[in-house]
Amino acid sequence: MSLRTEARQYGVAIRAMLIFTVVLGVGYTAVITGIGQLLLPAQANGSLATLNGKPTGSSLIGQGFTDKDGKALPEWFQSRPSAAGDGYDGAASSGSNLGPENADLVKSIGERQATIAESDGVVVEQIPADAVTASASGLDPHISPAYAEIQVNRVAQARNLSPQEVQSLVTENTSPRDLGYLGEPTVNVLRLNLALAKLKG
Amino acid sequence: MAVFFGILQIFTLVAVLAIIYRPLGDYMARMFSGGRDLRIERGFYRLLGVNPLSEQSWRAYLRSVLMFSIVGLLFVYLLQRTQAILPYSLGLPAVPEGLAFNTASSFVANTNWQSYSPEVTMGYTVQFAGLAVQNFVSAAVGIAVAVALVRGLSRRGSSTIGNFWVDLTRGLWRLLLPLSVVVAVVLLIGGVIQNFNGFVSLTTLTGGSQTIPGGPVASQEAIKLLGTNGGGFFNANSAHPFENPTAWTNLLEIVLMLAIPFSLPRTFGTMVGDKRQGTAILAVMSTIFAVSLTAMTIFEASGAGTAARAAGGALEGKEDRFGIFGSALFGSASTLTSTGAVNSMHDSFTALGGMMAMLNMMLGEITPGGTGSGLYGMLVLAIITVFIAGLLVGRTPEYLGKKIGPREIKLASIYILITPTLVLAGTALSIALPGVREDVLKTSILNSGLHGLSEVLYAFTSAANNNGSAFAGLTANTPWFNTALGIAMLLGRFLPIVFVLALAGSLAAQEKIPATTGTLPTHRPQFVGLLLGVVVIVTALTYFPVLALGPLAEGLN
């Protein structure tokens, strides 16, 4: 192949890449952004949850309900352990990536179980697995209904509420499986805690 | 109960794939079998300076594939290197050379291995103008090469195998772009974000502050899965609630990964004029898929291993909304196609569950494999099978009326040697090379011991097979891994393509020989069984010794 034909063919490849970038990169992204912002602005902007008109998080992104030292605040339902940054850092989504035999992971699980057993007044066997394991994203907004269940008494006591009152909020904020059979039943922790906050209101 | 729902979810998936198999497969067959150009396509060809009616020899076709990919490689590299001056870069600096090379190779090779954490590395422009565009075009290149091989099998006495620019264009304009638009809107409805807000800081319920990320995610998510690419907009990939917010988006994303790879056998059957041939290929793909999925699900549900037993279930690195079943299904689909997206962290899987992810990739990404690459990989193994069957039961080695002679067997044999060589050499060098070894053990490996070897093995398996998923504990943003994995991805993608297209050319040139009593029928269960055997023996067994040193040893301990 002569140099000239080769140069001509590279010209084709370069023009193709430029046009694809304009259409598939810029155009396509712009169209989807337009549709999202015009027709589905709530979802497109992150499904924000508000308290008294102020955004206080995203209902899809988990939050930590701890004090500055990372200690669990008893009056809030607790999320799962998080490996995103220092915990629930939306700019640093991540799992722990610790392996199934990793000694540090085994140790952390034991410590988390001890902490929860003490704070929630339960035995280790009652603590579900999701309560002591970090999620894949580090931003899991959910806990299992079982983990919500064992927190009810602690939260009620810390807030001077009856366990029945708290329990009914848990029930209201428990979602069944999608379409009745996809995935797992979940409790959205931020929504549940927002309901608690409004109760006090 | 959870088991019942888990199985129901799998049945739903199978039903959806079964429904789209014919229409999508036939649509692709029509698309690549001549027909008129759309007006927009004619304009596009004029801009390119390409005559859509002229056909290419296999050499010219290959040259176009390689030139287009080299241009793409440079383009993505330059975008990353100039990030500081691009709009919507979120104040991020230029991506360093080594990482930029690795990332450019990764996305051009349809691998989407990510040595970086996107949130702190890639601004929006690099993502949508560089990475997302490669998600589209690398998938279309894979389909084009597969179609070229199918033409080689269906044509007789032809010196050409199609026109790359036409195949590329039609794959994009008529298939990937329209589907992506629809899918992106559905994902938006599910809660996937699409904005240019950057990182927004909020005050949380407890009075602390939290950063909420933004970005044009839905548009990129759609083609990431549809094109079996897998590179996440965020570090947590499809585990991130903004990429995959609900259990139903999770199932949708699984469908997207499998839709094109599982429908291409129909395209193949239709194009060679014997649909039963496509069904036979589909049967092989489905059988291995079913067995592998069952195994991974059982391993994860068993909750084996010290950590999972202590916690009461293998939920480390899994999201509550997907659960064990939604995670194992996604993980299987992602590693059996060449997607490599994750909705759960494979590094934290049970030892044997993680091994299944590895084994899935080691099968060579053919059950059903990547968009296009799955079909051409499987067809190469079908050619090997008729040859072996010829030796075993004394049949004349021919496939679809094409004689499988010394030239075809040489090409197919070299094809199947490339990936294992890259995987095993790469892993061995990482552990053996003085200087590299210390760096790998100290800097890169997160989990020491047997699991550490698994992390390195997983990385090279993923790169050479163009999957892109990871045992993500491995710190791969080092000079050694950026370079070695970058080279493994490029060689693992383009060397096989060279041999596939050579094979296409050699087959197309042949006349069709009529079937005789000595011909092995390639649409019957007997052939399906033989091909299954060849797939398992030729690909997976190659890796048995190294698996025994890593995940098997860990899981059986």
* Tens digits of residue pLDDT in B395-438: 889 999 999 999 999 999 999 999 999 999 999 999 999 999 99
A72 in the same domain as A15: no
The C-alpha atoms of residue B110 and residue B494 are separated, in whole angstroms, by: 11
Does the complex come out with an ipTM higher than 0.85?
yes
Which helix (H) or strand (E) covers residue A174, if one does?
Answer: strand A174-175
pLDDT value at B546 more than 90: yes
Q: What is the pLDDT of residues A32-66, one digit of tens each?
A: 999 999 999 999 999 999 998 899 999 999 999 99
A112 in the same domain as A56: yes
**Based on the number of CB atoms within 10 Å of its own CB, is B207 exposed (0-12), middle (13-18) or buried (19 or more)?**
exposed
Better-predicted residue by pLDDT, B535 or B395: B535
Written as one string, the DSSP assignment of B199-243 is -EEEE-TTS-EEEE---BHHHHHHHHHHTT----SSTTGGGSTTT
A67 in the same domain as A8: no
* Sheet order of strands, A142-143 included: A142-143, A186-188, A174-175
Q: What is the pLDDT of residues B101-124, one digit of tens each?
A: 999 999 999 999 999 999 999 999
Nearest residue of A to residue B556, measured between CA atoms = A101
Q: For residue B428, give the 3-state DSSP assignment.
A: helix
Closest in B242, B248, B303 to A178, CB measured = B248
Residue A197: count of CB within 10 angstroms of its CB: 15
Instruction: State the average pLDDT over residues B221-230.
Output: 98
pLDDT of residue B35: 87
pLDDT of residue B451: 96
Q: For residue A101, give the 3-state DSSP assignment.
A: coil
Nearest residue of A to residue B221, measured between CA atoms = A29
Q: In A, which residues are within 8 Å of B57 by CB distance?
A: none
* B542 located within any domain: yes
Q: What is the pLDDT of residues A84-93, one digit of tens each?
A: 999 999 999 9
Q: What is the pLDDT of residues B7-44, one digit of tens each?
A: 999 999 999 999 999 999 999 999 999 889 999 999 99
Burial annotation A100-117 (CB, 10 A radius, 16+ → b, else e): bbbeebbebbeebbebbb
Residue B180: count of CB within 10 angstroms of its CB: 28
User: CB contact, 8 Å: A106 with chain B?
Assistant: yes
Q: With CA atoms as reference, report the closest residue to B344 among B296, B292, B309.
A: B296
Q: With CA atoms as reference, report the closest residue to B466 among B103, B112, B223, B150.
A: B112
Q: In B, which residues are within 8 Å of A130 by CB distance?
A: 313, 315, 320
Cross-chain Cβ contact B199/A90 below 8 Å = yes
A64 in the same domain as A15: no
Q: What is the pLDDT of residues B240-288, one digit of tens each?
A: 999 999 999 999 999 999 999 999 999 999 999 999 999 999 999 999 9
Look-up of token digits 């904020």 = A173
Cross-chain Cβ contact A25/B304 below 8 Å = no
Which structural domain range is residue B437 located in? Answer: 398-556
Beta bridge partners of B367: none
pLDDT of residue A1: 65
A123 in the same domain as A32: no
Instruction: Identify the residue among B16, B167, B316, B444 best suited for mutation to test binding to A, counting A beta carbons within 10 A and taking the highest.
Output: B316
pLDDT of residue A192: 98
pLDDT value at B87 more than 60: yes
Give the angle A94-A146-A197 at the CA atoms, nearest 5°: 75
Q: Are B134 and B72 in contact (CB under 8 A)?
A: yes
The C-alpha atoms of residue B128 and residue B194 are separated, in whole angstroms, by: 12
Better-predicted residue by pLDDT, A9 or B75: B75
pLDDT of residue A200: 62
pLDDT of residue B515: 87
In angstroms, what is the C-alpha Rg of chain B?
Answer: 23
What percent of chain B has a predicted confidence (pLDDT) above 70? 100
Instruction: State the average pLDDT over residues A8-23.
Output: 96
Nearest residue of A to residue B311, measured between CA atoms = A129
Query: How sure is the predictor about B230, in pLDDT bands with cuts at 50, 70 and 90?
Result: very high
The C-alpha atoms of residue B301 and residue B315 are separated, in whole angstroms, by: 10
Better-predicted residue by pLDDT, A6 or A59: A59
In chain B, the number of structural domains is 1
The C-alpha atoms of residue A163 and residue B332 are separated, in whole angstroms, by: 42
User: CB contact, 8 Å: A114 with chain B?
Assistant: no
pLDDT value at A201 more than 60: no
Q: Are A138 and A95 in contact (CB under 8 A)?
A: yes
A72 in the same domain as A33: no
Q: Smallest CA–CA separation between B281 and chain A, in Å? A: 30
pLDDT of residue B92: 97
The C-alpha atoms of residue B549 and residue B461 are separated, in whole angstroms, by: 15
Closest in A31, A89, A136 to B344, CB measured = A136
Closest in B205, B323, B354 to A63, CB measured = B205
Cross-chain Cβ contact B247/A109 below 8 Å = no
Q: In B, which residues are within 8 Å of A95 by CB distance?
A: 236, 239, 316-317, 344-345, 347-348, 472
Nearest residue of A to residue B220, measured between CA atoms = A29
Which structural domain range is residue A35 located in? Answer: 3-41
Residues in chain B: 557
Instruction: Identify the residue among A3, A18, A21 best suited for mutation to test binding to B, counting B beta carbons within 10 A and taking the highest.
Output: A21
Q: For residue B49, give the 3-state DSSP assignment.
A: coil
A112 in the same domain as A73: yes
Closest in A32, A48, A136 to B239, CB measured = A136
Mean pLDDT, chain B, integer: 96
Q: How does DSSP classify residue B176? A: I
Q: Are B313 and B324 in contact (CB under 8 A)?
A: yes
In chain A, the number of structural domains is 2
pTM of the model as a whole: 0.97
The C-alpha atoms of residue B196 and residue A199 are separated, in whole angstroms, by: 35
- Three-state SS string across A124-172, please? HHHCCHHHCCCCCCCCCCEECHHHHHHHHHHHHHHHCCCHHHHHHHHHH
- How far apart are the two ends of chain A, measured CA to CA in Å? 79
* B161 located within any domain: no
Q: Which residues, other chains included, contact B517 with Cβ-Cβ below 8 Å and sequence gap of 6+? A: none
Q: In B, which residues are within 8 Å of A15 by CB distance?
A: 47-49
pLDDT value at B493 more than 90: yes
A75 in the same domain as A21: no
pLDDT of residue A2: 80
Which helix (H) or strand (E) covers residue B544, if one does?
Answer: helix B544-549
Look-up of token digits 């296009």 = B372
CA dist B498 to A42, B140, B415, Å? 48, 16, 9
Instruction: State the average pLDDT over residues B529-545.
Output: 92
Cross-chain Cβ contact A19/B44 below 8 Å = yes
Q: Smallest CA–CA separation between A166 and chain B, in Å? A: 18
* B513 located within any domain: yes
pLDDT of residue A5: 85
Would you say the C-alpha torsion B426, B285, B319, B223 has a positive or negative sign?
positive
Nearest residue of B to residue A24, measured between CA atoms = B133
For B527, the token pair is 């052939």
A97 in the same domain as A155: yes
Q: Smallest CA–CA separation between B351 and chain A, in Å? A: 6
Q: Smallest CA–CA separation between A164 and chain B, in Å? A: 23
The C-alpha atoms of residue B398 and residue B404 are separated, in whole angstroms, by: 5
**Based on the number of CB atoms within 10 Å of its own CB, is B105 exposed (0-12), middle (13-18) or buried (19 or more)?**
buried
Cross-chain Cβ contact B348/A99 below 8 Å = yes
**Based on the number of CB atoms within 10 Å of its own CB, is A147 exposed (0-12), middle (13-18) or buried (19 or more)?**
buried
